[in-house]
């Protein structure tokens, strides 16, 4: 069958699809997370400071990641927190977040303000039956205590019982006594609130109630969900627009609650280590979050899992999931905590290698060597006798010190996917034109597909084009790449793409032109031949021009299909255009230079006549005003007349008619004014002389 997709584009898509699953590998927190956190929380700092919740999440995340903060923003955050703490109308939620901000940033807050806040939060605890009110009030008091203030919850037992009364038989919690449904997210904040009550109590909380809550936690973890790769997460039991939080927020709430409770009670919680490790994989599997809320939940959860009293998860990761047989790459494995800290002494064994079809390749256990300087375990893959392709590697981690088994969890066996690449051998490549189905060839030419060799063939509609070659792996096994395409491109830019099928060790395609005349639109002429072979594990994938084929097809009948319209290159309009040659009118003949000069001289005759007339009239300055005021107006009047004459000259030399009229209008008004004053003075002078 013929396709019309560009073979290079198909090659890139298939390679990307093969490698894409490897790009979502679980890796510890890195500088990439720090960069994303700084970008997400700094996207709109002015808006962020309008919300106590967003401000707290920002400063808390930066502190956990060790990101340098803007001192100016710290000052604004402290002012926001101080204003909230001093306001008598601030609810418990705002007080809780303001105290948290002050604690993270070390803001200077008056002790009297904190005493007032503690009293208000204790009053809320006495009067409420809301789980959220308990959570914010207890959390605020605990934050005050952690900042060095003396805070004691005298009625801790009754508060503990009031919170516990909202629990359900499945380990979930209700938000208040009126709630009909239970919530996993609520269970997390309830456990965190109970942990705060235990920390604030001035006496030991009822041990039996502690035991009941521990049992509730076991039930809660019985509802945890999982993926096939060992990832665990929590989600809400039902979906409701006002209650549903999503897996990230819900899992983060449970992690906060469980780790907080485990840190304040004696003994260990009965939670399997693989579930703690699965939660860590879930948050690391998020990769780089896309929102500030998800970023905060991810980083805080991983920070709590980094140091908790249940189990500290150890993450096995591969710095590189692509191994080259050509470069003799070593298999390298890192085992660290979720934040990349070094793990305790341990052994890593490769216990099984599975092929892409889950077929067992080897079960011989190989212990990886440990490079102390780089904190990495490594193994030479050459003795494994694995060929190019995609494999699943099964590792087993064993802690060397048995005492660490109660502190860390490795999850037993860990499976990681890798792609092994290498150079593929291409040989026995032939191309030719045959006359019949038996395959007797009129012309057969050898090809070296790894070099730039081109052929020149010719055929008609009664002949067939044959192309064959073999591919083998570095270990001599048959290799079947993801794609093998043969493209024929007509001189009119019409393209035809064919899949080259493979059987046994050989790839072979036969194009019967008699059956393809309609697909070729009866287009005779020159066709460029191009072969593309590509695979994610093939280091020498190629897109090779094979040469040209001169094809002679019969004339197209009247109702034959027409070639499709070729796409217009959108960049064509930006390329150099064809030069346009203009034909100008032949200039008219002009008079001689002497005639032009004589005409210019004639234009000066009126001015000469004007001067002669002034002389014949006996013009003089006897009547020029002698007083300063009239003399000034008379001078301006004559200057205005001179300006008009100059404007006429400029009109002749440079200015256009409209510009000249514009200037003349201003000069005309000016001359009317000063001329009137001058003539009025002369008229008065003449009248006085006649009277005298």
CATH of residue 230's domain is 1.50.10.20
285 with 344, same domain: the answer is no
**β strands within 314-463, DSSP E:** 315-317, 322-324, 330-336, 346-354, 360-362, 366-367, 369-371, 376-380, 389-399, 408-409, 413-421, 425-434, 441-447, 455-460
pLDDT digits (tens, 9 = 90+) for 325-379: 999 999 999 999 999 999 999 999 999 999 888 888 888 899 999 999 999 999 9
Residue 587 belongs to a domain: no
For the CA atoms of 518, 521, 527, 532, the dihedral, rounded to the nearest 10 degrees, stands at -60
Distances (CA, A) of 375 to 239, 345, 349: 45, 11, 16
**H-helix or E-strand containing 633?**
helix 628-653
In this predicted structure, the answer to whether residue 453 has a pLDDT above a threshold of 90 is: no
Residue (of 111, 124, 121) closest to 150 by Cα position: 111
Concatenated DSSP letters for 577-629? Answer: PPPPPP-PPPPPP---HHHHHHHHHHHTHHHHHHHHHHHHHT--STTS--SHH
Q: What pLDDT, on the 0 to 100 scale, is given for residue 234? A: 96
- Residue 179 has a pLDDT of 79
Q: Is residue 459 scored above 50 in pLDDT? A: yes
pLDDT band at 43 (very low <50, low <70, confident <90, very high): low
613 or 567, which is more confident? Answer: 613
- Average pLDDT score over the chain: 88
Q: Does 331 lie in the same domain as 222?
A: no
Asked if the structure places residue 10 within a domain, the reply is no
Domain boundary among 313, 333, 353: 313
Categorize the per-residue pLDDT at 570 as very low, low, confident or very high, splitting at 50, 70 and 90: confident
pLDDT of residue 389: 92
- For the stretch 225-283, pLDDT in tens is 999 888 999 998 664 445 678 899 999 999 999 999 999 999 899 999 999 999 999 99
Q: Distance (Å, rounded) from C-alpha 187 to C-alpha 172?
A: 5
Residues 299-320, mean pLDDT to the nearest whole number: 95
Token pair recorded at residue 216: 């509730």
Is residue 329 domain-shared with residue 305, that is, in the same domain? no
Choosing from 260, 278, 313, the residue where a domain stops is 313
Residue 5, in any domain of the structure: no
Sign of the dihedral defined by the CA atoms of residues 652, 653, 659, 662, in that order? negative
The answer to whether residues 397 and 277 touch, using CB atoms and an 8 Å cutoff, is no
pLDDT one-digit tens code per residue, 227-240? 988 899 999 866 44
The answer to whether residue 592 is domain-embedded is no
Residue 463 covered by a domain: yes
- Residue 100's closest CA among 131, 55, 135, 62? 55
Verify that 291 and 303 share a domain, yes or no.
Answer: yes
Same domain flag for 326 and 187: no
Could you tell me which residues come within 8 angstroms of residue 485 by beta carbon, excluding any fewer than 6 positions away? 3, 7, 10, 497, 498, 499, 500, 531, 532
pLDDT reading at 21 higher than 70: no
Whether residues 670 and 635 fall in one domain:
yes
Q: Is residue 141 situated within a structural domain?
A: yes
Is residue 247 assigned to a domain? yes
168 and 126: one domain?
A: yes
- For residue 379, what are the domain limits? 315-421
On the question of pLDDT at 13 being above 70, the answer is no
Contacts 24+ apart (CB under 8 A), 16-23: 18/390, 18/419, 18/482, 18/535, 18/536, 18/537, 19/322, 19/419, 19/536, 21/417, 22/321, 22/322, 22/417, 22/418, 22/419
Task: Say whether both 75 and 169 belong to one domain.
Answer: yes
The band of 187, judged by pLDDT with boundaries at 50, 70 and 90, is very high
Final residue belonging to a domain, choices 272, 298, 313? 313
Residues 143-159 have pLDDT tens digits of 999 998 889 998 899 99
Instruction: State the pLDDT at residue 17.
Output: 42
CATH number at residue 514: 2.60.40
Q: What is the CATH number of the domain that holds 406?
A: 2.60.40.1080
Q: 95 and 63, same structural domain? A: yes
Of the candidates 394, 527, 406, 399, the residue with the CA atom closest to the CA atom of residue 460 = 527
Q: What is the pLDDT of residues 498-532, one digit of tens each?
A: 999 988 779 999 999 999 999 999 999 999 999 99
Read off the pLDDT of each residue in 575-585 and give the average, rounded to a whole number.
Answer: 82
Q: Which residue has the higher pLDDT, 74 or 35?
A: 35
pLDDT value of position 436? 64
Using an 8 Å Cβ cutoff, are 334 and 416 in contact? no
Tokens matching residue 296: 């905060």
Share of the chain above pLDDT 90, in %: 61
| Same domain for 122 and 37 | yes
Residue 616 confidence (pLDDT) above 90? no
Q: Are residues 308 and 230 in the same domain?
A: yes
* pLDDT band at residue 23 using 50, 70 and 90 as cut-offs: very low
Q: End-to-end distance of the chain based on CA atoms, in angstroms?
A: 124
Other Cβ atoms within 10 Å of 682 Cβ, number: 15
CA distance 125 to 130: 9
pLDDT range class, residue 442, cuts 50, 70, 90: low
Q: Looking at the domain assignment, is residue 614 inside a domain?
A: no
Q: Do 360 and 339 sit in the same domain of this protein?
A: yes
**Count of domains observed in the chain:** 4
Q: Mean pLDDT, to the nearest integer, of 673-688? A: 85
């Amino acid at each position: 069958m013929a396709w019309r997709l560009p073979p290079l584009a198909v090659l890139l898509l298939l390679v990307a699809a093969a490698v894409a699953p490897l790009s979502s590998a679980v890796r510890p927190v890195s500088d990439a997370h720090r960069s994303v956190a700084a970008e997400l929380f700094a996207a709109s700092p002015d808006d962020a400071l309008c919300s106590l919740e967003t401000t707290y999440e920002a400063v808390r995340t930066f502190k956990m990641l060790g990101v340098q903060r803007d001192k100016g923003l710290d000052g604004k955050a402290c002012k926001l927190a101080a204003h909230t703490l001093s306001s008598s109308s601030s609810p418990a939620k705002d007080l809780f977040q303001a105290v948290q901000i002050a604690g993270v940033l070390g803001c200077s807050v008056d002790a009297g303000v904190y005493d007032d806040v503690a009293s208000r939060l204790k009053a809320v605890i006495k009067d409420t039956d809301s789980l959220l009110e308990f959570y914010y009030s207890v959390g605020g008091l605990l934050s005050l205590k952690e900042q060095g203030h003396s805070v004691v919850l005298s009625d801790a037992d009754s508060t503990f019982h009031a919170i516990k009364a909202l629990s359900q038989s499945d380990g979930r919690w209700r938000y208040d006594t009126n709630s009909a449904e239970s919530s996993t997210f609520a269970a997390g904040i309830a456990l965190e609130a109970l942990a705060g009550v235990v920390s604030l109590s001035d006496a030991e909380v009822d041990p039996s109630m502690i035991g009941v809550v521990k049992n509730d936690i076991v039930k809660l973890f019985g509802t945890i969900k999982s993926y096939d790769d060992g990832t665990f997460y929590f989600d809400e039991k039902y979906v409701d627009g006002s209650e549903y939080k999503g897996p990230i927020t819900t899992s983060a709430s449970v992690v906060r609650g469980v780790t907080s409770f485990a840190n304040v009670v004696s003994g260990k919680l009965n939670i399997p280590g693989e579930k703690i490790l699965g939660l860590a994989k879930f948050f690391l599997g998020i990769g780089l979050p896309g929102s500030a809320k998800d970023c905060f939940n991810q980083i805080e959860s991983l920070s709590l899992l980094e140091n908790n009293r249940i189990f500290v998860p150890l993450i096995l990761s591969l710095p590189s999931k692509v191994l080259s047989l050509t470069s003799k790459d070593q298999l390298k494995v890192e085992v660290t905590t979720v934040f990349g800290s070094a793990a305790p002494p341990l052994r890593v064994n490769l216990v099984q290698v599975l092929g892409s079809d889950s077929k067992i390749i080897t079960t011989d256990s190989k212990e990886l060597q440990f490079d102390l300087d780089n904190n990495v375990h490594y193994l030479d893959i050459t003795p494994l006798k694995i060929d190019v392709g995609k494999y699943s590697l099964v590792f087993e981690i064993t802690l060397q010190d048995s005492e660490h088994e109660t502190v860390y969890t490795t999850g037993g066996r860990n499976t990681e996917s890798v792609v092994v690449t290498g150079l593929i051998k291409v040989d026995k490549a032939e191309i030719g034109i045959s006359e019949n189905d038996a395959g007797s060839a009129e012309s057969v030419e050898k090809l070296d597909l790894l070099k730039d060799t081109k052929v020149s063939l010719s055929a008609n509609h009664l002949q067939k084009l044959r192309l064959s070659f073999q591919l083998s792996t570095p270990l001599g096994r048959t290799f079947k790449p993801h794609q093998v395409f043969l493209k024929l491109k007509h001189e009119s830019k019409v393209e035809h793409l064919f899949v080259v099928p493979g059987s046994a060790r050989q790839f072979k395609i036969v194009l019967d032109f008699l059956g393809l005349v309609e697909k070729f639109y009866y287009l005779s002429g020159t066709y460029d031949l191009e072969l593309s072979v590509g695979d994610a594990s093939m280091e020498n994938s190629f897109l090779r021009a094979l040469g040209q084929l001169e094809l002679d097809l019969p004339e197209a009948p009247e109702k034959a299909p027409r070639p499709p319209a070729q796409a217009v290159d959108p960049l064509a309009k930006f390329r150099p255009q064809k030069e346009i040659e203009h034909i100008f009118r032949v200039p008219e003949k002009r008079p001689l230079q002497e005639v032009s000069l004589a005409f210019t001289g004639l234009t000066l005759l009126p001015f000469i006549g004007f001067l002669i007339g002034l002389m014949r009239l006996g013009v003089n300055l006897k009547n020029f005003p002698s007083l300063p005021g009239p003399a000034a107006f008379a001078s301006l009047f004559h200057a205005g007349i001179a300006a008009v004459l100059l404007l006429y000259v400029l009109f002749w030399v440079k200015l256009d008619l409209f510009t000249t009229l514009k200037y003349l209008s201003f000069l005309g008004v000016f001359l009317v004014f000063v001329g009137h004053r001058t003539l009025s003075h002369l008229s008065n002078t003449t009248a006085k002389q006649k009277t005298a």
